[in-house]
């Protein structure tokens, strides 16, 4: 792939994709890893927000649950369990893909995110966390 074609792809994905963390943002995850399953209800408002956002953005879910080094749970990968959960809650058709990598996106919605402005404020925040 040449550089111009790659830049065009990157620009397009940066403008039209939104990346949403799964656990703690879409899926309740009230027990943490627990037994490795996708066990909780949706976060209030998550389903409606995904439907709304899908009208303007391609939605990518990012989550550690799909890392290749995670064990199978009940014979399923994390990705299979998440797709099953999305289908159960009638939102699978609004999701483009699921990844464990940081995708290109206009915005990242993550419950553990920190908005970077400068290193001084960042170090101060972390020292007081």
CATH number for the domain that contains residue 67: 3.40.50
Partnered with residue 76 across adjacent β-strands are 73
- Within 8 A by CB and 6+ apart from 31, the residues are 39, 40
pLDDT at 23: 97
pLDDT at 13: 65
Asked whether the beta carbons of 105 and 18 are under 8 A apart, the reply is: yes
Q: Please report how many Cα atoms fall inside a 13 Å half-sphere around the Cα of residue 9, on the Cβ side.
A: 7
Give the separation between CA 73 and CA 80, rounded to whole angstroms. Answer: 10
The angle formed by the CA atoms of residues 24, 30 and 32, to the nearest 5 degrees, is 80
Q: What is the pLDDT of residues 11-67, one digit of tens each?
A: 766 678 999 999 999 999 999 999 999 999 999 999 999 999 999 999 999 999 999
b/e code 51-69 from CB counts within 10 Å (16+ = b): eebbeebbbbbbbebbeee
The angle formed by the CA atoms of residues 64, 69 and 72, to the nearest 5 degrees, is 90
pLDDT at 68: 93
**Is the pLDDT confidence value at 70 over 70?**
yes
Q: Structural domain of residue 62, as residue ranges? A: 3-127
How many domains in the chain? 1
Average pLDDT of the chain, as a whole number: 93
């Amino acid at each position: 792939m040449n550089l111009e074609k790659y830049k065009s792809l990157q620009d397009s994905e940066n403008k039209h994709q939104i990346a949403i963390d799964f656990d703690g943002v879409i899926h309740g995850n009230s027990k943490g890893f627990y037994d490795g399953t996708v066990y909780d209800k949706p976060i209030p408002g998550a389903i409606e927000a995904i439907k709304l956002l899908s009208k303007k953005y391609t939605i990518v879910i990012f989550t550690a649950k799909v890392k290749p080094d995670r064990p199978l749970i009940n014979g399923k990968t994390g990705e299979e369990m998440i797709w099953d959960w999305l289908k159960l809650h009638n939102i699978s058709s609004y999701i483009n893909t699921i990844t464990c990598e940081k995708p290109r996106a206009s915005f990242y919605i993550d419950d553990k995110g920190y908005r970077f402005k400068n290193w001084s404020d960042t170090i101060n925040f972390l020292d007081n966390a």
